[in-house]
Amino acid sequence: MALTNYILQSVISLIIFTSSGLSLYERLSPFETLLLAIVIFCLQVLVSNLWLRYFKFGPLEWLWRCVSYGQVLPLKKERT
């Protein structure tokens, strides 16, 4: 989930801080920015944990492996 979370953090930050999103750059205090980063991190941990209960890899990791191996690999975990 590392690649997926890294890219997702970038996308979330683009939406929050750029002028094409919410334009919050230089409007939040350093403390508010830190608090926002902690909230985003905690949400990512929760969603990642939930995702990995049902799937073997993160979505971008799975896509990367499929492209690397040249075939569609199973994404879902097999239930025993």
Residue-level pLDDT, tens digit, the chain, 80 residues: 999 999 999 999 999 988 888 888 889 999 999 999 999 999 999 999 999 999 999 999 999 999 999 999 999 988 76
| Closest to 4 in 3D by CA, of 43, 42, 59, 47 | 59
Domain ranges of the chain: 2-69
CB 24 within 8 A of CB 16: yes
